[in-house]
Amino acid sequence: MNRTIDNPQPAFPRRIDHGIALLRISFGLMLFAHGFVLKLMTFGLAGTAGFFESIGFPGWTAYAVFAAETVGGLALIAGIGTRWVSVAILPVLLGALYVHLGNGWVFSNADGGWEYPLYLVVLAVAQFLLGAGAWSLDRKLALEQAPA
């Protein structure tokens, strides 16, 4: 079935569902990894707070960022509150972008470049626009309606 003026449905709706799920789950995994694995398991929250203070942020923000990335990542993986999480995580991602701006574009620069935080901002906006998709708790619990 092809998309026409008379039939606006996409030719491969299941593939669209696959793509949305892949984006949502991989974005959630990345947030969870940066929150739980990196900030808690690798550096520890006290160490992360010390780093935040060294770059001019209050130490307490490390705990808020840890919670946002960890809980937000798990919510995205499950597909619950997807649009809300995608918007709520933007201040964290924009903060990371701000921190990396002086490092240049490429990840191989000292302290990492700003291209990756910018990419995560784009992912958050894309996920907000797409919603949770068919394979999500948002859809199963009727928190998000299927496209007409």
Asked whether the beta carbons of 112 and 129 are under 8 A apart, the reply is no
- pLDDT at position 33: 96
The confidence band for 10, taking pLDDT boundaries of 50, 70 and 90, is low
Cα 47 to chain centroid, rounded = 23
**Confidence bin at 144 (pLDDT 50/70/90):** confident
Q: Stretch 56-74: mean pLDDT, rounded?
A: 98
- Whole-structure pTM value: 0.85
pLDDT at 50 over 80: yes
CA–CA gap between residue 133 and residue 99 (Å, rounded) = 32
CB-count exposure of residue 38 (10 Å: 0-12, 13-18, 19+): middle
CA separation (Å) from 16 to 7, 13, 45, 82, 92? 17, 5, 38, 17, 28
